[in-house]
Amino acid sequence: MPPIQRENYRAAARAALRDATLQRALADVQGRLGPGTAAAYRDLKEGPALRRQAHDLRMRAVENLDILLERLADRIEARGGHVHFAATAADAVAYALKVVRQHDVRRVVKGKSMVTEEIGLNAALEAEGLTVTETDLGEYIVQLAGEHPSHIIAPAIHKTRAQVGRLFAEKLGMAYTDDPAKLTWAARAALRQHFLNADLGVSGCNLACAETGHITTVSNEGNIRMATTLPRVHLAFMGMERVAARLEDHDILLRLLARGAAAQRMAGYVSYIGGPAAGDQADGPEAFHLVILDNGRSRILADARFREMLCCIRCAACLNVCPVYGKIGGHAYGATYSGPVGAVVTPLLSGVHRFADLYHGETLCGACKEACPVDIDLPRMLLELRAIQVAGDAAWEGRGASARERLFYGAGAFMTCHPALYRTAMGLASRARKVWSLNGALRRRTPVLAGWTRTRELPPVAATSFRKRWQKDPEDKSPRFGAPGGKR
């Protein structure tokens, strides 16, 4: 499966809205995790203000990425680990294939990793003839179903227990049940064999520490520990921005990550991995490879407007509060990252013009900023993206607004700059208002504005314009905006 790039936001969003099962699942995940995370921030001894401190700490790390990554790599290499700097997705995949050949790998188990989704790793490994098994329960379900994750930390949230039951009955040859516990234990038994037989464990990482030279993996299931302990080779991938400077920074970051991701005080399993197992250790992989991925991130780094996005630790807290994600779900975003984080990061990584629907689709309500454990101003960046798309920006391949849109706003601007013309036009509009309001259907059919008026009333122009009322009586406070019978 190649990385999904459907770019079919509107159709997919409409389909999601009609899907009653998905609507229930989304309401459920948001109803539980959204308020849970807010409560978990209040429970911090420092209070929600700790998010601001985390933001500063992340920003300072991002502003010194070159130094932090070099130190991280040096420390890991000193312990016998291999570090590969990959400028592009293709580069990262090529290195993975090299590792696989070098270690004669046949079977691969994977811990959950969005970055490997981003680079399309599974497809490449399967094309090489390898068996690749996702081991996070949600990812496993999605893989068996031939689908893609719809939520960063709850990948199979779009599937009901009955759907999972039918899927497991078909793929695992078990008797049908819709009991989540029995289904989980069936997957546990099936995946245990995969863990024991695998030659290579692939993981992402949630954080890294430059000072000590470790990557940090976080899970609740324990699958990442299994995948990084039992196979003889461990191959880890990290987006280059994930590194923190000092070990003590992880105190704040891990506490916030657990709260943002799952409203927990602490994640079930956190592991610091700094290289292959030492010769005198009784278990653990004999070889360790870390791929540090750029793949468009340095372009984000270079732009002061968007650099803040690299503070993101991919916890999915913003998905759990976003009114848009809450209705259309993850698949509609048509890319690896969904929700508010996806609406900013996907255009920046994969094309501001191509993914314009994503940032236009968000509401700018600000809920994502409130929920973000590192206080990223996502609404600001959604607006910046819109500005780039309208004004055009060579650095981001922003093409600027369409000729029709430019003409429309140009005419509006010209009119407001020429009072006589403005007065005449408004006078005409006011006289035409009776015809206009005769038939609502006429308004709705006005083709140029259909995108707006299909779901909204376009109020007719007022009988007396504001300017006239103002000239007559500046003290007039009567609520006479819009025409009689208008919505307001």
Residues of span 52-81 touching another protein by CB under 8 A: 60, 63-71, 73, 79
Number of residues in contact with another protein under rule CB under 8 A:
93
293: amino acid identity, one letter: L
Does 214 participate in binding another protein (rule CB under 8 A)?
yes
Residue 204 or 274 with smaller CB distance to another protein:
274
Residues of span 27-56 touching another protein by CB under 8 A: 28-29, 32, 45
Q: Tell me the closest approach of the beta carbon of residue 83 to another protein, in angstroms.
A: 8
Output b/e per residue, 4-20; b: 16+ Cβ within 10 A: beebebeebbeebeebe
Residue 73 or 328 with smaller CB distance to another protein:
73
Candidates 185-193, 339-347, 396-404, 457-465 — which segment interacts with another protein by CB under 8 A?
A: 185-193
Residues of span 128-147 touching another protein by CB under 8 A: 135-138, 141
Which of 239, 275, 326, 334: binder of another protein (CB under 8 A)? Answer: 275
Residues of span 229-248 touching another protein by CB under 8 A: 229-230, 240, 245-248
Burial (CB count <10 Å: 0-12, 13-18, 19+), residue 481 = exposed
What the block records as the tokens of 330 is 């993850």
Residue with tokens 């009991």: 179
Q: Tell me the closest approach of the beta carbon of residue 72 to another protein, in angstroms.
A: 10
Does 22 participate in binding another protein (rule CB under 8 A)?
no
Candidates 276-284, 358-366, 391-399, 458-466 — which segment interacts with another protein by CB under 8 A?
A: 276-284
Which of 8, 102, 184, 464: binder of another protein (CB under 8 A)? Answer: 184
Q: Which of 357, 303, 365 is nearest to 335 (CA)?
A: 357
Element spanning 293, H or E: strand 287-293
Does 20 participate in binding another protein (rule CB under 8 A)?
no
Residue with tokens 């299909």: 454
Residues of span 249-268 touching another protein by CB under 8 A: 250-251, 254-255, 262, 265-268
Residue 65 or 200 with smaller CB distance to another protein:
65
Which of 48, 284, 459, 482: binder of another protein (CB under 8 A)? Answer: 284
Q: Tell me the closest approach of the beta carbon of residue 368 to another protein, in angstroms.
A: 21
Candidates 296-304, 415-423, 451-459, 477-485 — which segment interacts with another protein by CB under 8 A?
A: 296-304
Q: What is the DSSP annotation of 181-235? A: HHHHHHHHHHHHHHHHH-SEEEE--SEEETTTTEEEEEESSSHHHHHHHSSSEEE
CB-facing half-sphere around the CA of 306: CA atoms within 13 A: 26
Residue with tokens 């790998």: 105
Residue 286 or 397 with smaller CB distance to another protein:
286
Does 166 participate in binding another protein (rule CB under 8 A)?
no
Which of 17, 85, 103, 444: binder of another protein (CB under 8 A)? Answer: 85
Residue 210 or 462 with smaller CB distance to another protein:
210
Residue ranges in 198-338 assigned as alpha helix (H):
223-229, 249-262, 297-302, 325-328
Residue 138 or 379 with smaller CB distance to another protein:
138
Which of 19, 269, 383, 458: binder of another protein (CB under 8 A)? Answer: 269
Q: What's the rounded Cα separation, in Å, for the pair 394 and 479?
A: 46
Which of 26, 89, 152, 156: binder of another protein (CB under 8 A)? Answer: 156
Residue 124 or 254 with smaller CB distance to another protein:
254
Which of 105, 183, 313, 315: binder of another protein (CB under 8 A)? Answer: 183
The number of residues in the chain equals 488
The partner residues of 208 in beta bridges, in order of sequence, read 215, 243
Q: Which of 299, 397, 305, 310 is nearest to 349 (CA)?
A: 299
Residue 66 or 473 with smaller CB distance to another protein:
66
Residue 55 or 250 with smaller CB distance to another protein:
250
Whole-number Cα distances in Å, 472 to 263, 378, 464, 475, 481 = 58, 45, 11, 9, 16
Does 459 participate in binding another protein (rule CB under 8 A)?
no
Does 223 participate in binding another protein (rule CB under 8 A)?
yes
Does 176 participate in binding another protein (rule CB under 8 A)?
no
The partner residues of 235 in beta bridges, in order of sequence, read 202, 289
Q: What's the rounded Cα separation, in Å, for the pair 343 and 362?
A: 7
DSSP state of 398: B
- All residues at 6 or more sequence positions from 187 whose CB lies less than 8 Å from its CB, including other chains: 137, 140, 141, 168, 172
Does 278 participate in binding another protein (rule CB under 8 A)?
yes
Question: With left for phi above 0 and alpha for psi between -120 and 50, is residue 17 left, alpha or beta?
Answer: alpha
Q: Which of 119, 166, 121, 116 is nearest to 141 (CA)?
A: 166
Which of 177, 271, 453, 465: binder of another protein (CB under 8 A)? Answer: 271
Q: What's the rounded Cα separation, in Å, for the pair 353 and 281?
A: 52
Q: What's the rounded Cα separation, in Å, for the pair 204 and 290?
A: 9
Angle between helices 419-431 and 403-417 (to 10 degrees): 110
Q: What is the DSSP annotation of 373-393? A: TT---HHHHHHHHHHHHHH-B
Residues of span 349-378 touching another protein by CB under 8 A: none
Does 206 participate in binding another protein (rule CB under 8 A)?
no
Residue 152 or 461 with smaller CB distance to another protein:
152
Candidates 23-31, 100-108, 336-344, 360-368 — which segment interacts with another protein by CB under 8 A?
A: 23-31
